[in-house]
Amino acid sequence: MWTLVLVPAALYLAGVARSRSPWPVGRTAAWLAGLGCLAVALTGPLAATHGDLRAHMAAHLLLGMVAPVLLVLARPSTLLLRALPAPAARRVSRGLRTAPVRVLTDPFVATGLNAAGLWLLYGTGLLTAMLHSPGLHLLVSVHVLLTGWLATAAVLALDPIGHRRGVVARAVALAAGAAAHDVLAKALYAAPPAGVTGAEAGAQLMYHGGTVVHVLVAALLWRQWYRSRATVRDAERAALPTPA
């Protein structure tokens, strides 16, 4: 499991060293912090619990919500394009505009995949099987990380992506994903999976922790919109004729 942490950290730092322009330290810190959340969720005490839904939800929040936000803020695709030679960067840029990538990075598709995966995990017997199978636990954890990352990247659209909708559409997709997450938490509180302990506390942690992360993402989206509007206003002022 440490390979999932150390290799991306080394690759990112190598990209920073090869970047054709100075790379903000805050983005590097966000990447390493996101990988730190991944390490805690997969290798720390939270990963060693069996049947404790509260501990599982703490790991879920780190892996599927907090880590994706930090990794998206690190803008790895932008770094890749800056670190690669120009011909390779153009090939990557063309790849980001292909039809499959455009579909997957649509915010409604990405948030739908994320929500559907969570409902499949907690609405079937997959959770019980995962808690007692290290191999299945790793596969499901990687899926939760990737779908959470994809949904967050599609909503915030900080990196070059194949499908960039307007802010309103991305806000609607975020709200729909948050609603699906909250309804699932309430369903787990009312009817917890069989064979788990700490079900009520775990469901409450999922609900309240998810709300905090969704509000944070909404704040980041609002900040992005505000800055874009400020840029438009500045451009409009600059275009006004200068009084004689």
| pLDDT reading at 47 higher than 80 | no
Question: Domain for residue 131, yes or no?
Answer: yes
Question: Domain for residue 118, yes or no?
Answer: yes
Question: Domain for residue 83, yes or no?
Answer: yes
Whole-number Å distance between alpha carbons of 33 and 162:
26
Question: Domain for residue 144, yes or no?
Answer: yes
Question: pLDDT: is 236 or 134 the higher one?
Answer: 134
CB 203 within 8 A of CB 182: no
Question: Domain for residue 95, yes or no?
Answer: yes
Question: Domain for residue 108, yes or no?
Answer: yes
Write out pLDDT tens, residues 66-123: 999 999 999 999 999 999 999 999 999 888 888 888 999 999 999 999 999 999 988 8
Domains contained in the chain, number? 1
Write out pLDDT tens, residues 138-172: 888 899 999 999 999 999 999 887 667 889 999 99
Question: Domain for residue 244, yes or no?
Answer: no
Neighbours of 37 (CB within 10 A): 22
Question: Domain for residue 127, yes or no?
Answer: yes
Q: State which residues form the domain around 150.
A: 3-233
Place of tokens 């609405």: 123
Whole-number Å distance between alpha carbons of 65 and 67:
6
